[in-house]
Structure 1
Amino acid sequence: MGPLLLVLLLALLLFGFGFAVKLLWWIALVVLVIWLLGFVFRAAEGGRRRRWYRW
């Protein structure tokens, strides 16, 4: 019974880790799109050097 519980616990941990990694990939993708949009909007402004973000 003990080894079965350990295997189930390991499976739950790996599933949770996989879900967290997948969520982090989606967050990274959203941040990348926002970052690229910042370059597009900055280039569309023309001669002004004003940025829409502070960093």
Structure 2
Amino acid sequence: MAGLFEQVDAAAEPERAQRVGARYQALLTGVVAQHLIDPTHAPRAEDLGDG
């Protein structure tokens, strides 16, 4: 995810890639949980993009 969203080269910066990837994984998991718990009040893609 670090390479996908922030172009972090995991081979060159493995520790940074781990930290950045973990952040995006946590965000993704949180959004999925919100949609599962209360889909009508979960943020939309536009909300997340604007944020």
The two structures have a TM-score, normalised by structure 1, of 0.47
Higher helix share: 1
